[in-house]
Amino acid sequence: MELELRGVTKTYPNGVKALDDVNLKIPHGMFGLLGPNGAGKSSLMRSLATLQAVDAGTMLFGDIDIAQQPERLREVLGYLPQDFGVYPKVTAWDMLDHLAQLKGLSKRSERHEVVKALLHRVNLWEHQSRRLGGFSGGMKQRFGIAQALIGNPKLIIVDEPTAGLDPAERFRFHNLLAEISEDVVVLLSTHIVTDVSDLCRNMAILASGKVILSGHPLELTKKLEGRIWKKFVTAEELEAISKALPVIAVRRVAGQRLAHVFSEARPDGEFEAVNPDLEDVYFQALSATQAALRLSAGQA
């Protein structure tokens, strides 16, 4: 099954246009949705999860019209929001068993087999009797995936799942997501570029509610070959360079400023060519969009 968005638009009562004519085709497997805070990622996730209505556009999952048939979508949906609460005094087993009942698994023996299998799948079996309040951040996220997998969903939405996790937990969570995505559509919303580069076959970048770039991560990266340059700079040099070239990112390396710029040719002999990565793709897309907005505002 494929997820397709056509002209999806959402404006909140305070006038903020969170989604602006979003068009995407999201195939089977892991799809990454990148964007800075406030880009509209969570608004899109909530709309797809039937938690809020959009103002215009169509959202289809296979033959399901999400806006018109939310009940059908919920039957095949697994959702891990950015912030989800747990009852701290309830054990992992009891909470998952309760959620499975709410999902319609009424027969006790079958439900317990499902709960057991899920706890094993997310590597929490040995913690089944532990209260959720004592779980680490990574354990809570793995529990969140377990609850999202109840009922064998065909569409799984995960919103900022690795924010705040330590490197070891991020690695475990990456492996879990990769395994899950073999069988279903997984939509991964994040601002962490390496999550997308490590996991996703396809991706899109969202900014100010608009899709500004989409495609295969490796293909998008290849298009920047020979067009990204780097140079260690002082604060004064950076100010001067910014007036002459599109500076897409400034990173700290061993306490020094390392500027990455976009240029069709080497700006000067002191700049070195960069083997671009997905971070360069991401920052260049955002930089180009911001430049276009400034130009439009100036012309207006």
- pLDDT averaged per 10 residues in sequence order, the chain, 300 residues: 96 95 95 92 94 96 96 94 83 95 91 95 93 90 90 92 82 86 90 91 95 96 96 93 92 93 92 95 92 69
CA–CA distances in Å: residue 176 to residues 1, 67, 147: 21, 30, 14
Please write the tens of the pLDDT for every residue from 63-87: 999 999 999 999 999 999 877 777 8
- Would you state the pLDDT for residue 300? 52
Please write the tens of the pLDDT for every residue from 87-144: 899 999 999 999 999 888 999 999 999 999 999 988 899 999 999 999 988 888 889 9
Q: Does residue 10 contact residue 19 with C-beta atoms inside 8 Å? A: yes
Angle at alpha carbon of residue 251, lines to 265 and 201, rounded to 5°: 75
CA–CA separation, 216 and 218 (whole Å): 6
- Would you state the pLDDT for residue 298? 66
- Would you state the pLDDT for residue 186? 95
Task: Please give, one letter per residue, the 3-state secondary structure of the chain.
Answer: CCEEEEEEEEECCCCCEEEEEEEEEECCEEEEEECCCCCCHHHHHHHHCCCCCCCEEEEEECCEECCCCHHHHHHCEEEECCCCCCCCCCEHHHHHHHHHHHCCCCCHHHHHHHHHHHHHHCCCHHHCCCEHHHCCHHHHHHHHHHHHCCCCCCEEEEECCCCCCCHHHHHHHHHHHHHHCCCCEEEEEECCHHHHHHHCCEEEEEECCEEEEEECHHHHHHCCCCCEEEEEECHHHHHHHHHHCCEEEEEEECCEEEEEEECCCCCCCCCEECCCCHHHHHHHHHHHHHHHHHHHHHHC
The identity of residue 32, as a single letter, is G
CA–CA separation, 59 and 27 (whole Å): 14
- β-strand partners of 78: 156
Relative to beta strand 247-253, strand 17-26 is: unpaired
Q: How many residues does the chain have?
A: 300
The identity of residue 91, as a single letter, is T
Nearest CA among 123, 48, 130, 51 for reference residue 86: 130
CA–CA separation, 58 and 105 (whole Å): 31
**Would you give the distance in Å from CA 13 to the centre of its chain?**
25
